[in-house]
A and B are shown apart, each in its own frame.
Chain A
């Protein structure tokens, strides 16, 4: 396992700048999740590290060594693709063994067999080992493709939305499984997703990307509790942070354009009145849709609340975030 460093990496595709001068350090043994919507540069970052594509400018280091001009094989990285990555002409067993049979690893047959069995066990696909890869369900395919990364011992694991095609139950199982595999083995893992639950539950570090720029890098808590911008603040938190005009509640600091309120930053029971427009009972929590001076606010309340649409609730902000006109946080 190794530390991965991106140094001022820029990558363009025609007129589009997919990565704009990105620098980040992924510590040895870290589970780094890259967050951002489609087109933010998450997958491009993975491809730069993997060596499938070279940066136009900047450099990637793995374990202190420059990866300039090295092929994916020479970099010893393992990657899980979003889709399409099982070899359809091979069985599950052959798919899992494929990386170990490469000229890079040339693993002895008995070790291959043992590893394939272990990994199949972990991913609950042992009974499918002799199936053709194409005879699997989507979820099974993705588990095999995760397995194909796990049979190796690479310097870094790269995963591109590996869980996005799975159903909810399997996704939460594998989330825990992946996290414990990573924690136990001390692997360095760079993981791309736009699912904030995956980011919050698995990551030791989160990198927030916006149109090719790395806008914030830190622990999930840090990004949740101390976001640098409206954009970073909107990446995490469910329901999403409420972004409202800064002076909606009066007394805004100078230069502030908007105020950001997460549910826990909205104090209920005191302050100005708002009207309940909708109550969503989700079981473990209840979402309250409020109308406050013609602005919609979503917050969370007691799971067994008696509130219903049309009721009046007094609210006031508590330690809110303020953002300036460019969306940057004011401190």
Chain B
């Protein structure tokens, strides 16, 4: 089918262009501010008026990854000379490094839980969406509505029952528990999005593959999956972003072993005064995986968002 869309005038183009740039600048300023704050000294970070030009420092990053103790000048003098550049940096502030911080393991927890639930969600979501799209499922519409209804309230509304269930099942503060929880929350989104994408793939492709001598599973694997890649990628990004950024459940259900980065980052504030550069450094590093993931899949994401909108 062809569309008759009139070419926008130059003035419209300019206007739209300026609007887009303006919006992009407004959204990116907080991001740039966080990144910049990570490289400020604690004094510059709270300076008023705020400093746009400053002398960069990695103190925030050093503080993020270490735990430190304050020592008095006499004790400092007795210490052997600093062995590393970061030890030296810490001592200038009248502290010594007493060990690594827990940021690394919290970050790793985020990676395990975020990507784990995303992968699980994609596997289950694709299978369910395919079944809903292609097979005669009894009570299909009701089931789909039921799946969607799990998202009709904010997930945190069921925090107390989930907390109690997790306690009884021994899932409190475990990786498995968090992966299952985030998968359950995301699954409705992924089933609905993926069903839309799979609906768009004409069933003739699979029929052709069946005739060509393949089983239904092989047809799904070799013909449907490659064509649904776009949809799967964009759905995966949405799921990952939710699981990665989730704060409330993480605070409630994790503490020691399975704590993710979002509840950990604010706790940095309490150690040795308000250490904003360390908090900003933690946030900056935390942004990186989702940013990389999104940039890697952005081609799919862009197509994915418009995919269902175009009728052929």
Please list the residues of chain A having a beta carbon within 8 angstroms of any beta carbon in chain B: 50-52, 71-73, 76-79, 81, 83-85, 87-89, 98-99, 102-105, 145, 148
Inter-subunit contact B205/A87 (CB<8 Å): yes
Tell me if A's interface is mostly helix, strand, loop or mixed. Answer: loop
**When the two chains form their complex, are residues B218 and A50 in contact, meaning their CB atoms are under 8 A apart?**
no
A77 to B213, CA, bound (A): 9
Counting CB contacts under 8 A, is B227 at the interface? yes
Provide the residues of chain A in CB contact with B204, threshold 8 Å.
81, 83-85
Query: Which of B202, B218, B227 contacts A89, CB < 8 Å?
Result: B227
Which residue of the partner chain, among A78, A87, A105, contacts B211 with CB atoms under 8 Å?
A78
Could you say which residues of chain B place their CB within 8 Å of the CB of A72? Answer: 207, 210-211, 213
> Which of A78, A81, A148 is within 8 Å of B207, CB to CB?
A81
* A residues less than 8 Å from B213 (CB atoms): 72-73, 76, 99, 102-105
Write out the residue numbers on chain B whose beta carbons fall within 8 Å of the beta carbon of A145: 208
Q: List 24 A-B contacts (CB under 8 A).
A: A51-B210, A52-B210, A52-B211, A71-B215, A72-B211, A73-B211, A79-B207, A81-B207, A81-B208, A84-B204, A84-B205, A85-B205, A88-B227, A89-B227, A99-B211, A99-B212, A102-B212, A102-B213, A103-B213, A103-B218, A104-B212, A105-B213, A145-B208, A148-B208
Q: Is A79 touching B215 in the complex (CB atoms < 8 A)?
A: no
Q: Which residues of B contact A87 (CB under 8 A)?
A: 205, 208-209, 223
- With A72-B210, A89-B226, A98-B212 given, name 18 new contacts (CB 8 A): A51-B210, A52-B211, A71-B210, A72-B207, A73-B215, A77-B211, A79-B211, A81-B204, A81-B207, A81-B208, A84-B202, A84-B205, A87-B205, A87-B223, A88-B227, A89-B227, A99-B213, A103-B215
The complex places the Cα of A103 from the Cα of B215 at a distance, in Å, of 9
A162 to B226, CA, bound (A): 26
Q: Shortest Cβ distance from B232 into chain A, in angstroms?
A: 13
Q: Give A99's nearest chain B residue, CB to CB.
A: B212
**B33 contacts which chain A residues (CB < 8 A)?**
none
Q: Looking across the interface, which residue of chain B has its beta carbon closest to that of A104?
A: B213
B214 at the A/B interface (Cβ < 8 Å)? yes
C-alpha gap A99/B211 in the complex (Å): 8
| Distance A51 CA – B212 CA, assembled complex (angstroms) | 12
A102 → B minimal CB distance (Å): 3
Kindly identify, within residues 213 to 269 of chain B, every residue whose CB is under 8 Å from any CB belonging to chain A.
Answer: 213-215, 218, 223, 226-227
| Interfacial residues of chain B within 118-153, with CB under 8 A of chain A in the complex | none
Q: Which residues of A contact B218 (CB under 8 A)?
A: 102-103
Complexed CA–CA distance, A250 and B211 (Å):
56
What's the Cα separation between A51 and B204 when bound, in Å?
14
Of the residues B214, B226, B227, contact of A103 by C-beta under 8 Å: B214
In the bound complex, CA of A76 to CA of B204 (Å): 18
Question: For residue B227, which residues in chain A have a CB less than 8 angstroms away from its CB?
Answer: 88-89
For A88, what are the chain B residues with a Cβ–Cβ distance below 8 Å?
227
Q: Which residue of B lies closest to A90 (CB)?
A: B226
Cα–Cα, bound, A135→B209 (Å): 21
Bound: A71/B219 CA distance, A: 13
By Cβ-Cβ distance, the 3 closest A-B pairs, closest first, are A104-B213, A102-B213, A99-B212
Q: How far is the CA of A77 from the CA of B207 in the complex (A)?
A: 12
Give chain A nearest CB distance to B142 CB in angstroms. Answer: 20
A262 to B199: give the CA distance in the assembly, Å.
48
Q: Are A85 and B208 in contact (CB under 8 A)?
A: yes
A103 to B205, CA, bound (A): 17
Query: Given A81-B204, A85-B205, is A148 in contact with B212 using a C-beta cutoff of 8 Å?
Result: yes
State which residues 25-74 of B face A: CB under 8 Å: none
User: A42 vs B138: C-alpha distance in the bound complex, in angstroms?
Assistant: 30
A73 to B209, CA, bound (A): 9
Residue numbers in A under 8 Å from B212 (CB-CB): 73, 98-99, 102, 104, 148
Report which residue of A50, A77, A89, A148 has the largest number of chain B beta carbons within 10 angstroms of its beta carbon. Answer: A89
Distance between Cα atoms of A85 and B212 in the complex (Å) = 11
Give the chain A neighbours of B214 by CB distance below 8 A: 73, 102-104
The minimal Cβ–Cβ distance linking A108 to chain B, given in whole angstroms, is 16
- The CA-CA distance from A145 to B212 in the complex, in Å, is 11
Across-interface contacts of B211 in A (CB, < 8 A): 50, 52, 72-73, 77-79, 99
Chain B's nearest CB lies how many Å from the CB of A2? 16
Q: Which residues of B contact A104 (CB under 8 A)?
A: 212-214
Cα A72 to Cα B211 in complex, Å, equals 5
Taking CB as reference atom, which chain A residue is nearest B216?
A: A71
Complex: chain A residue closest to B227, CB-CB: A89
> Which B residues lie within 8 Å of A71 (CB)?
210, 215
Residue in chain A with minimal CB distance to B223: A87
Q: Are B202 and A73 in contact (CB under 8 A)?
A: no
Query: Given A73-B214, A102-B214, A103-B213, do A52 and B207 touch, yes or no (CB 8 Å)?
Result: yes
Taking the nearest CB of chain B, how far is it from the CB of A62, in angstroms?
A: 13
A129, B227: Cα distance in complex, Å: 20
**Nearest CB on B from A272, distance (A):** 51
In the complex, chain B residues whose CB is within 8 Å of the CB of A102: 212-214, 218
For residue B291, give the distance in angstroms from its CB to the closest CB of chain A: 28
How far is the CB of A165 from the nearest CB of chain B, in Å?
A: 13
B118 to chain A, nearest CB (A): 23
Q: Which residues of A contact B223 (CB under 8 A)?
A: 87
Shortest distance in angstroms between B215's beta carbon and chain A's nearest beta carbon?
A: 7
Q: Which residues of chain B come closer than 8 Å to A78, judged between CB atoms?
A: 211
A79:B226 contact, CB within 8 angstroms = no
Measured CA separation A88–B223 after assembly (Å): 9
B167 to chain A, nearest CB (A): 47
Q: How far is the CA of A102 from the CA of B207 in the complex (A)?
A: 14
Residues of B within 8 A of A52 (CB): 207, 210-211
